[in-house]
Amino acid sequence: MSEIRHLIDILDLSVEEIDALIALGERIMDDPAAYADKCRGKIMATLFFEPSTRTRLSFESAMLSLGGSVLGFSAAANSSAAKGESVADTIRTVSAYSDIIAMRHPKEGAPLVAAAKATVPVINGGDGGHNHPTQTLTDLLTIQRRKGRLHDLTVGFCGDLKFGRTVHSLINALARYQGIKFVLIAPEELKVPSYVKKDVIQKNGLPYEQTTDLEAVMPELDILYMTRVQRERFFNEEDYLRLKDSYILTPDKLRGAKSDMTILHPLPRVNEISTAVDDDPRAGYFEQVRCGRFIRMALILKLLNIAE
Ligand code: NCD
């Protein structure tokens, strides 16, 4: 039997593998009917110990679109975790019921623990404020489709760069492409953690700028990646309330932006992008949602070793 592959961190995939997944995602998008039976008889379990709309439903939609089936739970309260069962025991159990597992957990590292116990591939659908590799694949497919490349881009990240796990994973992924410059836009308290800034950006000698002023850097950006302030990861509500509206993107603030900039957001959005921006051709966040389903179809095929 070949070794089981998991996706816990975006670095579990080589750049070549990421490029191949993006290419496969695009082929599936062009002809979904050709893939409609690829996972017939296979079962995906989605174990979500933390709330989700897009990630869980896009995994389920992806598996169903491949002809497979899905089972799972959408809140820890609906599982034996509520009785005190460990992640390790839950995963051993679910390995017996499914061919592949997608999980989300509020604790950093929980999917890694799960992968060590699982007898089927485990996909990290978000672990605390740490990583979110399938959102990154989604983001990369969207960038590829809108910009035609994953290299030579100035990418601005704005909002909660401390707790925003999608930001950490996307920085890790883009750091491996040529000609990427990062512009990190956040209030002092929500700056990227040092394990990202020092160990990824500085260690690789990548150009970056840190600022609190979104409008000042707007004209430079090819991509603007907006994020929500992660209320559930704050230690106190007061700090959240003070910081939650630090950045609100409006049509007015976009005046200095390039005409072909792309605005991304992993969603859910709270206040950080005014709905008046939704009709701007630069708004890419709903296309991003669509990409999420197709890139997850590509990932499921890869991890299950199903030939195209
Ligand atoms: C993100 C997440 O869960 O980290 N959402 C998503 O998966 N699309 C972003 C967020 O919750 O703010």
What CA–CA distance (Å, rounded) separates 141 from 136?
9
Beta bridge partners of 7: 123
Structural domain contains residue 5 = no
Say if ligand 1 is within 6 A of residue 267 CB.
yes
Structural domain contains residue 296 = yes
pLDDT at 161 over 60: yes
Q: Answer yes or no: do 157 and 272 share one domain.
A: yes
pLDDT at 41 over 90: yes
Q: Answer yes or no: do 214 and 186 share one domain.
A: yes
Residue 2 Cα to ligand 1 midpoint, Å, equals: 32
Q: Answer yes or no: do 26 and 47 share one domain.
A: yes
pLDDT of residue 203: 96
What CA–CA distance (Å, rounded) separates 238 from 236?
5
pLDDT of residue 253: 97
Structural domain contains residue 166 = yes
Structural domain contains residue 265 = yes
pLDDT of residue 1: 53
Q: What is the mean pLDDT of the chain?
A: 97
% the chain with pLDDT above 90 = 97
What CA–CA distance (Å, rounded) separates 295 from 137?
7
Q: Answer yes or no: do 172 and 100 share one domain.
A: no
Say if ligand 1 is within 6 A of residue 135 CB.
yes
Structural domain contains residue 4 = no
Residue 168 belongs to domain spanning: 134-288
Ligand 1 atom with minimal separation from the 50 CA: 3
Structural domain contains residue 98 = yes
Contacts of 227 (CB under 8 A, 6+ apart): 157, 158, 159, 160, 161, 164, 166, 167, 265, 266, 272
Q: Answer yes or no: do 55 and 121 share one domain.
A: yes
Structural domain contains residue 150 = yes
Q: Answer yes or no: do 97 and 68 share one domain.
A: yes
Supply the CATH number for residue 59's domain. Answer: 3.40.50.1370
Residue 268 Cα to ligand 1 midpoint, Å, equals: 6
pLDDT of residue 235: 87
Say if ligand 1 is within 6 A of residue 266 CB.
yes
Say if ligand 1 is within 6 A of residue 132 CB.
yes
Q: Answer yes or no: do 217 and 260 share one domain.
A: yes
Count of domains in the chain?
2
Protein residue with its CA nearest to atom 6 in ligand 1: 266
pLDDT at 61 over 70: yes
Say if ligand 1 is within 6 A of residue 128 CB.
no
Q: Answer yes or no: do 282 and 218 share one domain.
A: yes
Say if ligand 1 is within 6 A of residue 244 CB.
no
Structural domain contains residue 116 = yes
pLDDT of residue 123: 98
pLDDT level of residue 308 (50, 70, 90 thresholds): confident
Summarised one tens digit per residue, pLDDT across range 100-128 is: 999 999 999 999 999 999 999 999 999 99
Q: Answer yes or no: do 250 and 108 share one domain.
A: no
Chain centre to alpha carbon of residue 308: 24
Closest-CA residue to 100 (of 6, 2, 8)? 6
Residue 35 Cα to ligand 1 midpoint, Å, equals: 27
Say if ligand 1 is within 6 A of residue 228 CB.
yes
What CA–CA distance (Å, rounded) separates 273 from 259?
18
